[in-house]
Amino acid sequence: MAYKLSIKLPEGWQQETQVATEEDGTEVTHLEAHLPDDKNEKDLALIDICLGPMPSDTTAADEAYANYVDMIGFDESDGPDFDPLIEWPFQKKKAYGFEALCDDESPIRVMCVEIKQKLLAVITVIGKDDETLVEAITLVDKFLRV
C-alpha cells in the first residue's frame, strides 16, 4: 500500500515524490526536496523522507539506532555507555535520531518517527550550515502531511 506524503515548501524549493517497491514487496513512499543554489551549483538544503510500514518487532528508536550504525558507526573512543541517539519533539510525537557532519562539513540530522500507528518516517535533512538545517527541519515539522 502506497502512502500519500506531501510537504508545502516555500518558493524556490524543488521536490519529487515516488513510490518504490522493496524486494519483499513492501511499498515505500519517498519524497526528496532540495533548495538549489544555482550560483554555487550546490544545494542550500536537502530534505529526504522515506515512509513505509514500521518493521515488526521494532520501534522508531531501534530504527534510528540502526541508521546510526549504518551511516556513522562506532569507534574505540566511544565509551561503553555512549548513546548516540537524541530525542526531539516532532508533530506532537517523539522523533529519535542523531546529528553529524557530511563529508563536506554540512550538518545533517536523521530522525525516525512513528508518524502514525505502525507507520515509520525516516527523515534526513541536510543544510549548508546550522541555521539552514534548523530552518529546513522546522519546515518539515510544520508542513509535512501523511
Quote the percentage of the chain above a pLDDT of 70. 99
**What would the mean pLDDT of 67-80 be, rounded to a whole number?**
84
Which pLDDT value is given to residue 8? 95
Chain centroid to CA 107: 13
Mean pLDDT of the chain: 93
Global pTM? 0.92
pLDDT digits (tens, 9 = 90+) for 85-134: 999 999 999 999 999 999 999 999 999 999 999 999 999 999 999 999 99
Owner of C-alpha cell 561503553: 80
DSSP of 9-25, one letter per residue? Answer: --TT-EEEEEEEE-TTS
Which pLDDT value is given to residue 24? 86
